Amino acid sequence: MWESRRSYQHGNAPKAFNSNSADKDAQRDRARIIHSEAFRRLQAKTQVLGVGEHDFYRTRLTHSLEVAQIGSGICEQLRERYADHADYLEWLPSLSQIEAICLAHDMGHPPFGHGGEVALNYYMHAKGGFEGNGQTLRIMAHLGEYSPQHGLDLTRRTMLGVLKYPVLHRDVACYPIELAECSSNIDSYKPPKCIHDDDDSVLAWVLSALPPEDAQLFRSINTEGSRPKACFKGFDTAIMELADDISYGVHDLEDVLALRLVTERAWQEDVLNKLSGNDVISKALDFYNRKLFSESSTDRKHAISRLIGYFLPEISIVRQQRFATPLLDLQVQLSAEASATLQILKDFVYKHVIRRPEVQTLEYKGQQLVMKLFAVLRDNPERLLPPVVLARYQQTAQQDRVICDYVAGMTDSYAIKLYQKIFSPDMGSVFDRL
């Protein structure tokens, strides 16, 4: 499994997924991710709050670094917990491996967060779709600068680890019968969790080392509920997603508290009143109330670190008994109490930050900006696209995908600057480079 995509394309037979013995390959993948343009651009992409409004809170870059740290902490904790289980230890990702996966997991997010994601899918939903995790796979396989043909040219294990939704857009797309005609409200274009139809061959390559039965089962779709969705994820992906959830529920909570976006009353009503009483917060209620709402950043950090330290030992490995391949069959899960506590924290952040009108206004404004940029670039490619992008545009039949890749790769600040250069009469100069 450790050979790169390029070597496989040159004719090498696919190797079976193996254990974590090839740490040099994981170190190489991590290095390519860290040094990639897509990773650096995360420093100017929105995490929860708008980039540039404050020098404290997290961007996509700092969030990714924290997810990598939590992911490596989870693996170390599991390595100690299962020291006598050789069958688990063999498949636990090395620290380099899990860091590579965690660092890469958000590289495909477009400017302005999920608002930008919906805006791009507005134009792409009938042309293969657009979804942030699917775009991460495109960067790794096509757009990264290491290889002209194969992007960052990473190993199968890294690509499988980042693959949160191993299903194609066409297989899970389920939009309302009447899609919104008005571009001022495009909520009905929210994408399913998937990879793009254009990248079917990439998915096939990643899974080609698996037994055919495992590969087929891994691509299963759950049709229950309002929208079809993927049924399975890999072992490494489960670790990464859990690290991502912990970071979202705890670290983003720190941003909320530091910026005084919530009151102690809201904390009481939407967190403390919903806890079981046997949870980590209720058992040290005075400590968390004092520290989290303290004027001191040191006090807040003490409480946040203690919360993170609580969740990690509550994680265990389970078998699904569904796959012959351990890298698919093994999963991780939080204890029931810890899982319930984390969900309450995540719901609190979602309600009091993400859904607050001030944040939604910024997301909406960014969404409209992305839509206008896409439209004007599509209508005027020869005039407005940079030469390198224009060359790709002219050499492919999937021209909208090229424009989508270009816009998705923009940082928030670059998108704003380009918008002003195009649409604001008093902005821009012939000396400004695109």
19-45 pLDDT per residue, tens: 544 789 999 999 999 999 999 999 887
Summary count for the chain: helices (H), strands (E): 25, 4
**Pair of tokens at residue 405:** 């890749």
Mean pLDDT on 2-17 = 44
pLDDT at 270 over 80: yes
Ranges 96-110, 318-332, 339-353: which has the least confidence? 339-353
Amino acid 17 reads F
Residues in the chain, how many?
434
Mean pLDDT, rounded, of the chain: 89
Q: How confident is the model at residue 7 (pLDDT cuts 50, 70, 90)?
A: very low
Q: What is the pLDDT of residue 14?
A: 41
Pairwise CA distance, residues 323 & 394, whole Å: 44
Q: What is the pLDDT of residue 251?
A: 82
pLDDT tens for each residue of 224-248: 888 899 999 999 999 999 999 999 8
pLDDT at 6 over 50: no
Mean pLDDT on 100-126 = 94
Ranges 104-113, 176-185, 404-413: which has the least confidence? 176-185
pLDDT tens for each residue of 43-90: 887 655 544 444 445 688 989 999 999 999 999 999 999 999 999 999
Strand ranges in 294-370 using DSSP code E only, listed in sequence order? 315-319, 330-334
Question: Any bridge partners for residue 317, and if so which?
Answer: 332
3-class DSSP assignment, residue 352: helix
Mean pLDDT on 400-421 = 95
Q: What is the pLDDT of residue 234?
A: 97
| 13/125: higher pLDDT | 125
Mean pLDDT on 160-186 = 85
CATH of 5-236, one of 1.10.3210.10, 1.10.10.10, 1.10.3720.10, 3.30.950.10: 1.10.3210.10
pLDDT at 11 over 60: no
Q: What is the pLDDT of residue 20?
A: 47
pLDDT tens for each residue of 58-67: 688 989 999 9
pLDDT at 1 over 70: no
CB 19 within 8 A of CB 94: no
Q: What is the pLDDT of residue 254?
A: 84
Q: What is the largest CA-CA distance in the chain?
A: 68
The percent of residues in the chain predicted with pLDDT above 70, rounded, is 88
Q: What is the pLDDT of residue 111?
A: 93
The percent of residues in the chain predicted with pLDDT above 90, rounded, is 73
Q: Which of 367, 395, 389 is nearest to 377 (CA)?
A: 389
CB 30 within 8 A of CB 101: no
Pairwise CA distance, residues 23 & 331, whole Å: 21
Ranges 39-53, 369-383, 390-404: which has the least confidence? 39-53
Residues 6+ positions from 161 with CB-CB distance below 8 Å: 93, 97, 98, 100, 101, 234, 236, 237, 240
Q: What is the pLDDT of residue 392?
A: 95
CB 1 within 8 A of CB 12: no
Q: What is the pLDDT of residue 357?
A: 83
Does the pTM of the predicted model rise above 0.85?
yes
Q: Which of 231, 403, 298, 328 is nearest to 16 (CA)?
A: 328
Domain assignments of the chain as residue spans, ordered by start: 5-236, 244-357
pLDDT tens for each residue of 280-321: 999 999 999 999 999 888 999 999 999 999 999 999 999 999
Pairwise CA distance, residues 291 & 298, whole Å: 9
Question: What secondary structure letter does DSSP report for 101?
Answer: H
pLDDT tens for each residue of 130-154: 999 999 999 999 999 998 889 999 9
Q: What is the pLDDT of residue 434?
A: 57
